[in-house]
């Protein structure tokens, strides 16, 4: 058995862990350099984003390219098969056999043997029949930390799937209908916990219209965000004092005291008059000129405004961005601006409260048209209340 360990070239705990484990097998191995796709120019990446349901993350593209490099070596060396491992793999306890003993057990007709356990991520995964010490499978568990691939199957992928159109584990699932795929009765390898993912990007929450932080509290208590998430809290109403309030959250929060808008600068802001000398309600506070029809008297202040498209484009280009938007009618202008600039595609999931009932120039129909336009850009949209 010939092992190929995929690892980024720089020294790291991941790389050291992977090396120690492959050396312990006593098998011949070599390192295949991982691909830092984030350092490539976008036009150089072999990717087609028209097939998958969203834009592929650079980490997913880099993973795909690195695994193809390993497959290329199997083909060039004319090996009958090879075992490909990512450097954050670990050995499972009590397998039926180890990598050094696996060859005599492998089904004669295999194209692909998935070495990890099923974590229940792919609901289409099925075990069809038992073949010796393996199950023949349809679809695959969605992970690529360890597998054995035959030379003919590696050649097939290199000939027909050089361009990345979907994450690699999803490609394997799709191709399982065209080949003989297996999984051992007991998994051989898993993923070593404690290492940063080279595929999953940084997760960022943009809380547009923070008010008192109710949205952040909801996302945190429901498990949608945790301490690893970078949070940016935007609030135009100065009476909300968000810099002070955000100190109470056990999260990494950067506060922005300004209105989310379509340009940078200063803008007139209509504030609920009750906010002036007592704790703010925040209701009906909005950018002046929207025609917002709300209850109560208003006072006017001038506040900074922030071009959300420019801000989003300043974030890491492969970030996983969640955006909550409750900005009292400005959402129509801001979302149309994000669509016009193409920036809307940077957002993975959008939670938005629409205020068409308070804006004379908007309607239920214009809201539905805008929702359809956002979703057409590959954004998952949830209405927020």
CATH of the domain at 327: 3.40.50
Number of structural domains (the chain) is: 2
pLDDT for the residue numbered 42: 81
Same domain flag for 224 and 139: no
Same domain flag for 187 and 220: no
- Beta sheet of 320-325, edge-to-edge order: 252-256, 230-234, 203-208, 320-325, 347-352, 380-383
Same domain flag for 187 and 208: no
Pairing of strands 265-272, 298-307: antiparallel
268 neighbors 287 (Cβ within 8 angstroms): yes
Q: How confident is the model at residue 201 (pLDDT cuts 50, 70, 90)?
A: low
Domain containing 215 equals: 203-383
Same domain flag for 256 and 334: yes
Q: How confident is the model at residue 203 (pLDDT cuts 50, 70, 90)?
A: confident
Q: How confident is the model at residue 200 (pLDDT cuts 50, 70, 90)?
A: low
pLDDT for the residue numbered 295: 55
- Say what the pTM is: 0.56
Q: How confident is the model at residue 296 (pLDDT cuts 50, 70, 90)?
A: low
Same domain flag for 187 and 216: no
Q: How confident is the model at residue 122 (pLDDT cuts 50, 70, 90)?
A: confident
Same domain flag for 164 and 258: no
CA angle in degrees (0–180, nearest 5) for 183-188-191: 105
Question: What's the rounded mean pLDDT across residues 106-135?
Answer: 92
In a domain, 196, yes or no: no
pLDDT for the residue numbered 191: 85
Question: What's the rounded mean pLDDT across residues 353-370?
Answer: 91
**Residue 354 vs residue 199, higher pLDDT:** 354
List beta partners, residue 138. 126
Closest residue by Cα to residue 298 from 257, 227, 358, 208? 358
CA distance 323 to 347: 7
Q: Which residues contact 39 (CB under 8 A, 6 or more apart)?
A: none
pLDDT for the residue numbered 301: 81
Instruction: Look up tokens 């922005």; give the residue.
Output: 256
pLDDT digit string, tens, across residues 216-249: 999 988 888 888 789 999 998 888 889 988 988 8
Same domain flag for 224 and 144: no
pLDDT for the residue numbered 223: 83
In a domain, 220, yes or no: yes
Same domain flag for 217 and 358: yes
Last residue of a domain, one of 191, 213, 246: 191
Question: What's the rounded mean pLDDT across residues 148-166?
Answer: 97
pLDDT for the residue numbered 297: 45
pLDDT for the residue numbered 196: 61
In a domain, 92, yes or no: yes
Last residue of a domain, one of 191, 214, 229: 191
Q: How confident is the model at residue 192 (pLDDT cuts 50, 70, 90)?
A: confident
In a domain, 197, yes or no: no
In a domain, 198, yes or no: no
Give the CATH number for residue 125: 3.90.550.10
Buried/exposed code over 125-140 (b: 16+ C-beta within 10 A; e: otherwise): beeeeeeeebbbbebb
Integer CA distances (angstroms), 120 to 96, 194, 321, in order: 21, 21, 25
pLDDT for the residue numbered 291: 62
Closest residue by Cα to residue 195 from 351, 72, 267, 90? 90
Same domain flag for 211 and 158: no
Same domain flag for 256 and 164: no
**Residue 83 vs residue 117, higher pLDDT:** 83
Q: How confident is the model at residue 280 (pLDDT cuts 50, 70, 90)?
A: very low
71 neighbors 84 (Cβ within 8 angstroms): yes
Q: Which long-range contacts (CB under 8 A, 24 or more apart) does 359-367 make?
A: 359/290, 359/291, 359/292, 359/293, 359/329, 359/332, 360/291, 360/293, 361/291, 362/329, 362/332, 366/332
Same domain flag for 86 and 183: yes
Same domain flag for 175 and 289: no
Last residue of a domain, one of 191, 216, 248: 191
CA angle in degrees (0–180, nearest 5) for 65-67-68: 65
Question: What's the rounded mean pLDDT across residues 281-287?
Answer: 57
CB-count exposure of residue 224 (10 Å: 0-12, 13-18, 19+): middle
Mean pLDDT across the chain: 89
pLDDT for the residue numbered 150: 98
Q: How confident is the model at residue 197 (pLDDT cuts 50, 70, 90)?
A: low
Q: Is the pLDDT of residue 323 over 50?
A: yes
Q: Is the pLDDT of residue 270 over 50?
A: yes
**In the 3-class helix/strand/coil scheme, how is the chain assigned residue by residue?**
CEEEEEECCCCCHHHHHHHHHHHHHCCEEEEEECCCHHHCCHHHCCECCCCCCCCCCHHHHHHHHHHHHHHHHHHHCCCCEEEEEECCEEECCCCCCCHHHCHHHCCCCCCEEECECCCCCCCCCEEEEEECCEEEEECCCCCCCEEEEEHHHHHHHHHHCCCECCCHHHHHHHHCCCCCEEEECCCCEEECCCCCCCCCCCEEEEEECCCCCHHHHHHHHCCCCCCCCEEEEECCCHHHCHHHHHHHCCCEEEEECCEEECCCEEEEEEEEHHHCCCCCCCCCCEECCCCCCCCCCEEEEEEEEEEHHHHHHCCCCCCEEEEEECCCCCHHHHHHHHHHHCHHHHEEEEEECCCHHHCCCCCHHHHHHHHHHHHCCCCEEEECC
């Amino acid at each position: 058995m010939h092992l190929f360990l995929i690892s980024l070239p720089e020294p790291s705990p991941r790389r050291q862990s992977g090396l120690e484990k492959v050396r312990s097998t006593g098998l011949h191995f070599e390192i295949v350099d991982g691909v830092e796709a984030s350092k490539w120019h976008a036009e150089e990446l072999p990717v087609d984003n028209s097939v998958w349901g969203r834009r592929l993350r650079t980490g997913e593209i880099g993973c795909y390219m690195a695994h193809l490099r390993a497959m290329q070596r199997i083909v060039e060396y004319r090996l009958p098969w090879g075992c490909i491992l990512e450097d954050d793999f670990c050995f499972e306890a009590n397998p039926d056999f180890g990598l050094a003993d696996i060859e005599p057990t492998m089904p004669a007709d295999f194209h692909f043997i998935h070495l990890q356990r099923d974590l229940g991520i792919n609901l289409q995964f099925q075990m069809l029949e038992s073949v010796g010490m393996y199950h023949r499978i349809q679809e695959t568990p969605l992970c690529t930390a360890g597998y054995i691939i035959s030379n003919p199957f590696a050649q097939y992928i290199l000939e027909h799937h050089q361009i990345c159109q979907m994450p690699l584990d999803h490609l394997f699932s799709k191709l399982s209908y065209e080949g003989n795929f297996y999984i051992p009765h007991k998994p051989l390898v898993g993923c070593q916990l404690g290492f940063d993912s080279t595929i999953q990007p940084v997760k960022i929450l943009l809380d547009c219209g923070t008010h008192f932080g109710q949205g952040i509290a909801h996302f945190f208590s429901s498990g949608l965000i945790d301490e690893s998430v970078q949070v940016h809290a935007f609030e135009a109403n100065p009476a909300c004092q968000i810099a002070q309030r955000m100190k109470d959250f056990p999260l990494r929060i950067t506060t922005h005291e300004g209105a989310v808008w379509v340009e940078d600068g200063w803008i007139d802001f209509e504030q609920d008059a009750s906010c002036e000398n007592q704790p703010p309600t925040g209701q009906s506070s909005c950018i002046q000129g929207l025609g917002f029809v709300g209850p109560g008297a208003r006072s006017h202040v001038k506040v900074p405004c922030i071009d959300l498209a420019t801000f989003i484009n300043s974030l890491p280009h492969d970030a996983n961005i969640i955006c909550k938007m409750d900005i009292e009618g400005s959402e129509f202008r801001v979302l149309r601006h994000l669509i016009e600039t193409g920036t809307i595609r940077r957002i993975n999931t959008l939670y938005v409260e629409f205020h068409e009932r308070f804006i004379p120039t908007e309607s239920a129909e214009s809201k539905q048209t805008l929702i359809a336009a956002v979703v057409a850009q590959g954004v998952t949209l949830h209405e927020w209340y």
